[in-house]
C-alpha cells in the first residue's frame, strides 16, 4: 500500500499487508484538471430556505447575473426564493449556485449567486442540527449582525449554534435505498471529481464482504466509521482519482520471490491498485484468499472491477493492524478515535510528529465527511 503524499513504507511491514508506493503528488494537479464532475442520478428537492424571524434566503432583485447578493427577505414564494438541493452538495436558485465570494474561507465572506463550477466554495451541507455548512471553510451560512431586516446580506461565519445560523432547508434529492449509512448523493458530495471507476454501486456491492463495517454500534459510530474509511481513502488516492500507481518504475519492485508461490502473473504485475493501493504479491494473495478471489493470478481485477477494488480496501481496513495495535475498524467501533486509523494505515511514516501535514490532510477530510453525514468527528483525531 502507499500514500500519494508519503514515501514508500519499509519492507518489514509486508507481513502486516501494508507495503505502499512512492508518492507522485505533483501529478495530482494535472490530472484533476482533466476530470469532470460526476453528477448524481437523484432528482432535486425544491423549496424555500427559512431562517431568522421566519424569513427566506432570497436572491436580490430576482437577478440571475453572476455576483448577485444573496440576502434575507420576507418569504414571497417567488423563484428567487426557490432553492433546489440536488444531492451534489450545491444549493441552487434561478439555475445558478449559492457561492462564497472569491472562494474565501474567512469570517464575514459574503455569499452570492454564480454559475455552478463544482468548486469547494459552492459546496454546502445541510446538517441534522439545521446548520448549512461550507466544508471548505468549516463555517456556517449566517445572517450578518443577526439583523432580520429585509435585504440583510448573508455570509459565512464560524458556527456558533445561534439563531441567525439555523435554517429549514429542502432535503437532498433522492432516497438512500442502499442500506449504507452514506447515501449516493453524499458520496458524490464527498468526491465531486472522482474517477468514475470508484463507483458508489461498486462500494455498496463490496460491503457484503465485511458486514460489520459501518453497521456496528450507534448511528453516530456507524457514520464515523464510514467517514473515517472514506477520509483515509480520499488521502491515499488523491480524492479517489488514482486507480493504479503512477510511478511505473516501481512496478517491478513488488514481487517477493522468496514466497513459495512466487509471482505467477509476472515480475511487474503487483503494483499498487485500488482505494488503499494493494501492492506486493503476498498482499494480493492474502487479500484474494480472504475474499475468495484469485488475485495472485489475476491482480488486474483490482483495476478493472470496481467492487473487487473496494473489497481489497475493506479487507485492509477490517483485518490489518498495519503499523498500529488494532485494525482501523476496531479503532472506530471501540471509540479509540480517527487518529488510530492513521496509525494503522501509515503510522510509521506520519504519526508521532513525523509528517504532520499528511496527518492534517486526513483529519481535514474526516471532519468534512462527518459534517456531510451530520455527526461530530469525536475525539482523538490525531496520532
Answer whether residue 259 is part of any domain.
yes
Query: For residues 78 and 180, what is the distance between their CA atoms, to the nearest angstrom?
Result: 37
pLDDT of residue 38: 31
Looking at the structure, tell me whether residues 230 and 367 fall in a common domain: yes
Looking at the structure, tell me whether residues 198 and 324 fall in a common domain: yes
Q: Is the pLDDT of residue 21 over 80?
A: no
Render pLDDT for 157-186 as a digit per residue (tens, 0 to 9): 999 989 999 998 876 554 455 689 999 889
pLDDT of residue 185: 87
pLDDT of residue 171: 64
Question: Range of 290's domain?
Answer: 1-42+175-383
Confidence of residue 133 (pLDDT cuts 50, 70, 90): confident
∠ CA 127-131-135, nearest 5°, is 75
Looking at the structure, tell me whether residues 51 and 185 fall in a common domain: no
Question: Does residue 245 carry a catalytic annotation?
Answer: no
Rounded average pLDDT over 191-195? 92
Q: Is the pLDDT of residue 16 over 70?
A: no
Looking at the structure, tell me whether residues 126 and 221 fall in a common domain: no
Q: How many residues does the chain have?
A: 383
Query: Distances in Å between the alpha carbon of 127 and those of 139, 161, 203, 263?
Result: 12, 12, 24, 49
Q: Tell me how many domains the chain contains.
A: 2
> Could you tell me the three cell numbers for 123?
459546496
Looking at the structure, tell me whether residues 5 and 128 fall in a common domain: no
Looking at the structure, tell me whether residues 319 and 194 fall in a common domain: yes
pLDDT of residue 67: 97
**pTM assigned to the model:** 0.59
Looking at the structure, tell me whether residues 304 and 377 fall in a common domain: yes
Query: For residues 364 and 138, what is the distance between their CA atoms, to the nearest angstrom?
Result: 10
Looking at the structure, tell me whether residues 237 and 381 fall in a common domain: yes
Render pLDDT for 73-106 as a digit per residue (tens, 0 to 9): 998 878 899 898 776 678 999 989 999 999 999 9
Q: What is the b/e burial string over 247-262, where b = at least 16 CB atoms within 10 angstroms of the residue's CB?
A: beebbebbbbeeeeee
Query: Domain boundary residue among 110, 144, 165?
Result: 165
Looking at the structure, tell me whether residues 242 and 328 fall in a common domain: yes
Answer whether residue 244 is part of any domain.
yes
Rounded average pLDDT over 21-38? 32
| Catalytic member of 184, 236, 245, 350 | 236
Give me the CATH number covering residue 381: 1.10.530.10
- Which of 33-47, 128-142, 279-293 bottoms out in mean pLDDT, i.e. has the lowest? 33-47
The string of DSSP codes covering 226-276 is HHHHHHHHHHHTTTTT-SB-S-GGGGGGG--TTSTT--TT-TT----BTTT
Rounded average pLDDT over 39-53? 61
Confidence of residue 117 (pLDDT cuts 50, 70, 90): confident
Answer whether residue 170 is part of any domain.
no
**Residue of 383, 338, 320, 335 lying closest to 356 (CA atoms):** 383
Angle, helices 338-350/356-373, rounded to nearest 10 degrees: 160
pLDDT of residue 168: 83
pLDDT of residue 176: 58
Cβ pair 247, 282 in contact under 8 A: no
pLDDT of residue 47: 81
Query: For residues 281 and 262, what is the distance between their CA atoms, to the nearest angstrom?
Result: 8
Give me the CATH number covering residue 119: 2.80.10.50
Q: Is the pLDDT of residue 279 over 50?
A: yes
- Which of 19-23, 53-57, 208-212, 225-229 bottoms out in mean pLDDT, i.e. has the lowest? 19-23
User: 323-327, long-range: CB within 8 Å, 24+ apart, which pairs?
Assistant: 323/13, 323/16, 323/18, 323/347, 323/348, 323/351
Query: Domain boundary residue among 165, 200, 225?
Result: 165
Q: Is the pLDDT of residue 19 over 90?
A: no
Answer whether residue 364 is part of any domain.
yes
What percent of the chain lies above the pLDDT cut of 70? 85
Answer whether residue 116 is part of any domain.
yes
Looking at the structure, tell me whether residues 25 and 49 fall in a common domain: no
- Supply the mean pLDDT for the chain: 85
Answer whether residue 17 is part of any domain.
yes
> Could you tell me the three cell numbers for 292?
475468495
pLDDT of residue 10: 28
Query: Domain boundary residue among 120, 145, 165?
Result: 165
Looking at the structure, tell me whether residues 255 and 267 fall in a common domain: yes
Looking at the structure, tell me whether residues 105 and 25 fall in a common domain: no
Amino acid at each position: 500500500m502507499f500514500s500519494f503524499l508519503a514515501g514508500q513504507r519499509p519492507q518489514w511491514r509486508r507481513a502486516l499487508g501494508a507495503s505502499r508506493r512512492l508518492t507522485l503528488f505533483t501529478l495530482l494537479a494535472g490530472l484533476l484538471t482533466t476530470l469532470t464532475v460526476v453528477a448524481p442520478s437523484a432528482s432535486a428537492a425544491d423549496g424555500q430556505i427559512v431562517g431568522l424571524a421566519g424569513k427566506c434566503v432570497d436572491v436580490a432583485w430576482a437577478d440571475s447575473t453572476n455576483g448577485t447578493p444573496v440576502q434575507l427577505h420576507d418569504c414571497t414564494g417567488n423563484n428567487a426564493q426557490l432553492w433546489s438541493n440536488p444531492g451534489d452538495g450545491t444549493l441552487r436558485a434561478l439555475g445558478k449556485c449559492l457561492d462564497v465570494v472569491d472562494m474565501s474561507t474567512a469570517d464575514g465572506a459574503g455569499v452570492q449567486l454564480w454559475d455552478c463550477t463544482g468548486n469547494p466554495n459552492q459546496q454546502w451541507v445541510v446538517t441534522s442540527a439545521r446548520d448549512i455548512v461550507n466544508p471548505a471553510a468549516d463555517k456556517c451560512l449566517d445572517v450578518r449582525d443577526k439583523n432580520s431586516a429585509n435585504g440583510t446580506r448573508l455570509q459565512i461565519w464560524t458556527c456558533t449554534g445561534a439563531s441567525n445560523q439555523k435554517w429549514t432547508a429542502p432535503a437532498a434529492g433522492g432516497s438512500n435505498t442502499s442500506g449504507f449509512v452514506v447515501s449516493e448523493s453524499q458520496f458524490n458530495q464527498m468526491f465531486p471529481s472522482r474517477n468514475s471507476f470508484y463507483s458508489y454501486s461498486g462500494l455498496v456491492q463490496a460491503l457484503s464482504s465485511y458486514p460489520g463495517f459501518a453497521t456496528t454500534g450507534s448511528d453516530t459510530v456507524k457514520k464515523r466509521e464510514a467517514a473515517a474509511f472514506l477520509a483515509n481513502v480520499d488521502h491515499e488516492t488523491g480524492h479517489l482519482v488514482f486507480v493504479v500507481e503512477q510511478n511505473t518504475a516501481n512496478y517491478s519492485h513488488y514481487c517477493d520471490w522468496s514466497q513459495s508461490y512466487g509471482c505467477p502473473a509476472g515480475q511487474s504485475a503487483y503494483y499498487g491498485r485500488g482505494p488503499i493501493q494493494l501492492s506486493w504479491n503476498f498482499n494480493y494473495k492474502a487479500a484474494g484468499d480472504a475474499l475468495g478471489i484469485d488475485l495472485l493470478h489475476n491482480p488486474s481485477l483490482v483495476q478493472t472491477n470496481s467492487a473487487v477494488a473496494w473489497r481489497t480496501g475493506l479487507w485492509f481496513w477490517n483485518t490489518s493492524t498495519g503499523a498500529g495495535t488494532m485494525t482501523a475498524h476496531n479503532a472506530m467501533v471501540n471509540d479509540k478515535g480517527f487518529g488510530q486509523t492513521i496509525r494503522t494505515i501509515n503510522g510509521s511514516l506520519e504519526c508521532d510528529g513525523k509528517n504532520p501535514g499528511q496527518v492534517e490532510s486526513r483529519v481535514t477530510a474526516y471532519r468534512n465527511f462527518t459534517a456531510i453525514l451530520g455527526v461530530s468527528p469525536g475525539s482523538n483525531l490525531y496520532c
